[in-house]
Amino acid sequence: MVDHPHLEELVDAAREVAKRAHAPYSNFRVGAAVLAADGSVHVGCNVENAAYGSTICAEVNAVTTAIAHGATELVAIGVAALDGENVYPCGNCRQVMREFGIDTVVVETTDGPRTYSSDDLFPHSFGPEDLGEREPPGVNSP
Ligand code: THU
């Protein structure tokens, strides 16, 4: 878990970007802000879709935005709902954070921000190391 001086500012940035969420179906507006090792911060909001399964969560949006902006090492993420409700990352978001080794998660709750290690939130997870050194299968391999 990192002890970054601006960790709680991630939650503020998350709450701010939640204003831009596209959430006409759930009306649950979420924002996320990712801190990269180079100090850059990348934000994302949830973007819902009339085909509900095509919805993108705020955390996934923030992580993929960070990657698209060239951040290679991701350190922490803050998550907040616009109305200050509890917003713990869903299982899919935890897996996406895991891929990039995000180590610290600051969650907005009705009692204020709470900080968790990724191991607390997502123990015994599966990640890139678990695939080991293997060749990707060929097109016609069984
Ligand atoms: N949502 C997120 O953006 N992140 C989460 O971790 C939990 C859920 C969004 C998805 C959907 O747009 C709305 O919240 C209700 O599930």
Mean pLDDT by 10 residues, the chain (142 residues): 77 97 98 96 98 98 98 97 95 98 96 95 96 80 68
DSSP assignment letter at 130: G
Q: Report which residue type is found at 18.
A: A
What is the pTM assigned to this prediction? 0.93
Q: Judge whether 59 counts as a catalytic residue.
A: yes
Q: What is the pLDDT of residue 36?
A: 96
**71-85: b (≥16 Cβ within 10 Å) or e:** beebbbbbbbbbeee
Query: Considering 8, 9, 48, 59, which one is annotated as catalytic?
Result: 59
Q: What pLDDT, on a 0 to 100 scale, did the predictor assign at position 132?
A: 86
The ligand 1 atom nearest the CA atom of 89: 6
The candidate with the shortest Cα–Cα distance to 104, out of 121, 88, 117, is 117
Residue closest by Cα to atom 3 of ligand 1? 57
The residues lining ligand 1, judged by C-beta closer than 6 Å to any ligand atom, are: 23, 26, 28, 30, 46, 48, 55, 57-59, 89-90, 93
Positive/negative CA dihedral, 77, 80, 86, 89: negative
* Atom number in ligand 1 closest to CA 88: 6
Torsion (CA) 47, 48, 51, 56 in degrees, nearest 10:
50
Nearest alpha carbon to residue 77 among 129, 9, 18, 19: 9
Calculate how far, in angstroms, residue 73's C-alpha sits from the geometric centre of ligand 1. Answer: 24
Q: Are strands 74-81 and 41-45 parallel, antiparallel or unpaired?
A: unpaired
Residue 127, helix vs strand vs coil:
coil
Residue with tokens 């969560």: 57
Return d(Cα 13, Cα 17) in angstroms, integer: 6
- In this prediction, residue 6 carries a pLDDT of 75
Q: How many residues does this entry show for the chain?
A: 142
